[in-house]
Structure 1
């Protein structure tokens, strides 16, 4: 999996319930054809990234098929999760 670009937006919490800041990332990813996650339509990774006093982390993520917006039931492998975490940390607004 390779991250080729992104869109990020800081989420607003009008209630003030959430501690810290939350960012919504849509990561453009390339997946090799021999990977079970591969789709001809392309795949996005939606990430909710939490930034708190204790540090930053991936709060939630979903793989989404680009053409249909269908949520795909896959999980990140440990090294992929580290890659995504570092990428998001470096690209916070």
Structure 2
């Protein structure tokens, strides 16, 4: 699925780029908690998770941050009725 360039979309849909390794965010070396679950890769803290038994910090690598960003945009477009381009 592709999206129209930001200039072709309403201002409210012109999201910033997803975080990418070495983009001045606080990347560290660790384990990706998302889709790939790789160890010893550059990861970024993306938030906390709470389960019935505990809480934890969630870290994700660049490709998994990009996938999560894509999934959120697809959901927002569907919710807001934005047609797919």
TM range (shorter): 0.3 to 0.5
User: Could you say which structure has the larger radius of gyration?
Assistant: 2
In terms of fraction of residues, the more helix-rich structure is 2
If each structure's strand is expressed as a fraction of its own residues, which one has the higher value?
1
| Highest RCO, 1 vs 2 (Cα 8 Å, sep ≥ 6) | 2
TM-score, structure 2 normalization? 0.35
Q: TM-score, normalised by structure 1?
A: 0.33
